[in-house]
Amino acid sequence: MKKNLRKLAKASQTGVDDILPEYDFSHARRNPYASRYKGRVSVVALDPDVAAVFRNPGEVNAALRALAQIIHKHRGRRGTSL
C-alpha cells in the first residue's frame, strides 16, 4: 500500500508537460510504414450516419469523384460560384 501511495505522490508532482511515470516508451520504435503515406493520403473523418451509407473507402471515393465531376460541370456553365 505504501508503494502505491509513493507512486501517486510522485505522479502528482509532475508538471503539465511531463510524461507520467506509468508511460513507458523505452521499447518504442518509429513507424516503418510512415514514409509510404507521406504526402499521398488525406484522412477525412466521416460522421457515423454518412459512413453507414458506404461499405468501403472505394465507394466513398467513387461518390466524391462523381460529385466533383458534377460540381466541375456546374461551375463551367455558371462561372466560379455555386
In a domain, 53, yes or no: yes
In a domain, 11, yes or no: no
In a domain, 26, yes or no: no
In a domain, 65, yes or no: yes
* pLDDT < 50: residue spans in the chain: none
pLDDT reported for residue 1: 54
In a domain, 32, yes or no: no
In a domain, 23, yes or no: no
DSSP the chain: -HHHHHHHHHHHT--TTSPPTT---TT----TTHHHHTTT----PPPHHHHTT-SSHHHHHHHHHHHHHHHHHHHHHH-S--
Tell me the pLDDT of the chain averaged across its residues: 80
Residues 49-66 pLDDT 10s: 999 999 999 999 999 999
Let me know the angle formed at the C-alpha of 39 by 72 and 65, rounded to the nearest 5 degrees: 25
Look up the pTM and report it.
0.45
In a domain, 75, yes or no: yes
pLDDT reported for residue 48: 94
Domain that holds residue 57: 49-82
